[in-house]
Structures are given as C-alpha cells and as structure tokens.
Amino acid sequence: MENQRVVLTVKNHVGVVTLNRPEAGNALDLQMAKELMEAAIHCSENDEIRTVVITGAGNKFSVGGDLKSFAKEGEDIGAHLKTVTAYLHQAISYFARMNKPFIGAVNGIAAGAGMSLACACDLVYASDNSKFIMAYNKIGLTPDGSGSYFLPRIVGMKRALELMYTNRMLNAQEANEWGIVNDVVSEAELMNVVMQLAENLAQGPVHAFGATKKLFAHSLQETLESQMAIEATSLSERAISQEGQEGIHAFLEKREADYLKK
C-alpha cells in the first residue's frame, strides 16, 4: 500500500502496520487516521495476511493525537475531531474484530490514542524503554481510540480511573505488572521477538483464534449459562470446519497440523 503516514508490509503471512511520522512522534492526524483505517480494511480482508503487527517508526510508538493540527481548526475543532475519530475508531474496530491475531510492538512512548491503540491489541510486547500514559484529562479531554473500553477491562475500573485522573505514567515493567503488556524485551530484540511469535501464529488456525476472541469478548456481557450455550455452538461449528477437521486428524495421526493447506 502506497501511503505516507501508515506503511503496510507483508511477509510470511504477517502484515506489519507501521505508524510512519517519526518526526512528529507518530502523532495521529486526520491523514494518518484515514490511512490506518485503509490498512485495517486491507489486513482484515486479505487472506494472505494471517497475523497483524502494529508498531511505530523511529523511537516512539505514538504520542497520541496531533494537537497542533487539531488546534489549527479553530472553532471547527469539534467537527474535525469527529472526522478523525470516525476513521480511527473504524480502524480499531476492524483490527479488533478480525479473526487474525493483532499484536502490538510498543517501542518507546505510547500516549493518549497511542496507549488506547496498544490496549486494543490482542497481545502487546514492549521494549524496556517504553512508557504508557493516557494523557487526556490533563489537557481537559476524554479518551478516544477505545481507551475507555479496553483499559478498565485490562486493569480494572479503579486503576483505569487513577491513570486518567492523575496522568500517571507507567514504565514498561509496571505496564507488564498491570497486565497492559504481555512481556518486556530489549529494544534491540523487540521486533525479532514479535515477528517470531507473529509468524508462528500465522501458521495456526486463524478462524479458531477469531472465534476464541469473540467468545472472550461476549463473556463480559453474558450469564454463565448463556455463555456456555455460546461455547457449545462455537465448538460444534469449529469441529466441522476445515480447520477443526485438520486439527483433529493431525492429533490422531500424531503429526503437525497444516492450517495453510487449501
């Protein structure tokens, strides 16, 4: 995809989405939001892509919204932000709802919408020099980019409000302890670790991954009995699917399943 602010590359069935404004800390403006949505649609619809990784160019993941570009809109800033968030939120919805695993490789600061975007990932790996801060309330704003949805589900309501009210910054180790990231690795090894995981997952049963993701998301709004009913339906559907049949036969035949075969 020939985009300026968001670059998508594909290798070994892994789509790598790179936020590409390093000179501005990968700050999100209208054009980046639009290009991110286009990349999300491409990743969700392209069968060659089986796992998606998102990271930032340079030494930052994303400092969040581009306040300078927003302020230039003057009295139209409200309408402008509705347009920006329309693209951003559609992008996050595609990334979060697609069957494919969505992995964040957080290099450096993840602030505001950058932290919200990281929270929307299925799995997050962070460099040891990364930092996480919501940053909205300090400048009189409220979160966007799914931050108010995912953050309290990850860390709990009281910790989420603490991060918002106090503008507290978490270092990589603290973010790991709070469950925001899965692991912390050196900056030099971050992409190697993430790409190895992504390529391994790309060989796996992506539709089962997607169904599992949906089960977990639904569990927060279901009763025990209704959730188990959904589990039973999903399990039976997966068992008769091509992936399920391959997985079962491979297990019985004591061989590795080949989920890439047509």
- Residues marked active site are found at 89, 144
Residues 190, 107 contacting (CB under 8 angstroms): yes
Side chain identity at 21, as an amino acid letter?
Answer: R
CA–CA dist 243, 251 (Å, integer): 12
What is each CA distance from 161 to 82, 143, 155, 168, 234, in whole angstroms?
24, 11, 10, 10, 35
Closest CA to 247 of 230, 261, 231: 261
CA–CA dist 70, 259 (Å, integer): 46
Torsion angle of C-alpha atoms 166, 89, 48, 101, degrees rounded to 10: 40
